[in-house]
Amino acid sequence: MAVMLLTISASVLVLFNMVNILTATYFALNLPLILLEMLLAVWLIAKGFDQAVKDSVIK
């Protein structure tokens, strides 16, 4: 929930020209979302290579 609020607030700040996109403030507000997206990608890749999961889906 906090990640969404930070990302939405960053977008609102850009919308009203209070910060530019290529600033440390914008990056810092979006950093938690970036980390969650990367973690999700790693988790999905790891799950994709789990043979037990593949066998259960194929059956």
d(CA 40, CA 43): 5
Question: What is the residue whose two structure tokens read 């290529």?
Answer: 22
pTM score above 0.85: no
57 CB-contact burial (10 Å; exposed 0-12 / middle 13-18 / buried 19+): exposed
Are 3 and 33 in contact, with CB atoms under 8 Å apart? yes
Predicted confidence at residue 59, as pLDDT, reads 65
Question: What is the residue whose two structure tokens read 């609102």?
Answer: 12
pLDDT one digit per residue (tens) for the chain, 59 residues? 899 999 999 999 999 999 999 999 999 999 999 999 999 999 988 887 777 777 777 76
